[in-house]
Amino acid sequence: MATEFYRAWAQRIPKPNATSDFLSHIQAAAPMISQHDRGPFRLIHLDFGHNNIIVDDEFNVLGVIDWEKSFVGPCEMASRFPI
């Protein structure tokens, strides 16, 4: 369930980097964050870019590399804030 994912995520945040207010807000908001509490869940590649896609001479995709920080999570985790 997405609710349990967000609760576990909040518990794993290093305490020096987050205030207790933030953690308690995530815990309280966990049931409301995801529209799809029971899935579907996505395979999320945190470094998906042209530099991690292998193509042949005709630009057919052969594979994707650099999966070290990838995970399966709620669909909201697949989006990013603009840089």
**3-38 pLDDT, tens per residue?**
888 778 777 766 655 556 777 777 777 777 777 777
* Within-domain flag for 83: no
| 3-class DSSP state of 49 | coil
How many separate domains does the chain show? 1
pTM to 2 decimal places? 0.56
Residues ≥6 apart with Cβ < 8 Å to 81: none
Range of the domain at 50: 2-78
* Within-domain flag for 43: yes
In angstroms, the first-to-last Cα distance of the chain is 29
